[in-house]
Amino acid sequence: MSGSADGRPARTLAARLAPFLPTRLVAATARFVYPRFEPELARLADLCPPGCGTAVDVGGWYGPWTRRLAPLARRVVTVEPVPHLARLLSSAAPDNVRVIRAAASDHRGTALLWLPADDAGDRGVSSLVRRDIHARALEVPCLTLDGLGLSDVGFVKIDVDGNEPAVLRGARDLLARDRPALFIELESRIQPVAPVVERLAEQGYTGWVLPGADWVPLASFSLEAHQARMSYVVAQGLLRRVLPPRGPRYVNSVLFLPDGRRPGEGRVSETGSHAGQTPRDPLHPARLPAGPAAPHGRPQP
């Protein structure tokens, strides 16, 4: 996701040109350069455990995570609410990828997906949580990750621009059963990060960040202070942040690992299941019914 220091998405040159370019070209370019913008993507072996059964990409956008997860997991489930992005992902998805056109949250039904006035969803700032950048809404199907009936989930990436607590509440049973690694975008410009970090800590998850070449425990890295200090970087847009000369990095994603695991370590259980374990203080509410499964922010390009 990209924006100005006050949280408003910046209209970079690339963003202004993108609507005049073929969508597939924009998507391919975004997928190609994204590991330079988000270096964790180039180190998936540290995030996704060996022999991962199911990986989940919540907020698929143009598919940079979906494409790179496909060779590492037996199954990839991508949840993307923007209709044309879901269709694009479906049309080019590897055989082991299932794309679901819906928004992940803590309930089943429909929800309003909020977008800026001049954006159809391509800029990666749409959300179920309305902010001052949003001017119009699109009604979309809404589901919970628990309602998808997934099994052997080893990795979940969540990029939903402020709706992270609801996504985690809707994955309560999944987290208790499979204990997957979680990679979550947390933006203090959108909302405080502490509630998500504290709730996951209560469930036995520890946060890690990658500000440089090495993983650092989140407990020794002030994410909100870093983001406030580096907020000017956000307004530069994707291309400016990946093409040389590259400036300092803006960290806005956290890897959460359960039960004392460290980046690069595999699961404790050989089967990938922790069915006998229960989180110490689960994210509420109680189990929810299955949601719709119709097949089908990120920096702006």
Domains annotated on the chain, with CATH:
13-258 (3.40.50.150)
Q: Residue 300: its pLDDT value, please? A: 46
Q: Residue 205: its pLDDT value, please? A: 98
Using the predicted structure, report yes or no on whether residue 248 has a pLDDT greater than 70. Answer: yes
Using the predicted structure, report yes or no on whether residue 226 has a pLDDT greater than 80. Answer: yes
Report pLDDT digits (tens) over 105-156.
999 999 999 999 988 888 888 999 999 999 999 999 999 999 999 999 999 9
81 against 12, higher pLDDT: 81
- Global pTM reads 0.79
CA-closest candidate to residue 205, choices 182, 172, 177: 182
Using the predicted structure, report yes or no on whether residue 280 has a pLDDT greater than 60. Answer: no
Token readout for 199 is 């709730």
Q: Residue 124: its pLDDT value, please? A: 84
Token readout for 151 is 């099994």
Strand order in the sheet with 136-143: 103-104, 136-143, 109-115
- Select the highest-mean-pLDDT range: 43-47, 215-219, 230-234: 215-219
Using the predicted structure, report yes or no on whether residue 242 has a pLDDT greater than 60. Answer: no
For the four alpha carbons of 224, 227, 231 and 235, in that order, the dihedral sign comes to negative
For the chain, percent of residues with pLDDT exceeding 70: 72
Calculate the average pLDDT of the chain.
Answer: 80
Strand (E) or helix (H) holding 196: helix 194-202
Range in 77-81, 120-124, 204-208, 267-271 with the lowest mean pLDDT: 267-271
Range in 86-95, 146-155, 158-167, 225-234 with the lowest mean pLDDT: 225-234
User: What is the pLDDT confidence band of residue 264, given thresholds at 50, 70 and 90?
Assistant: confident
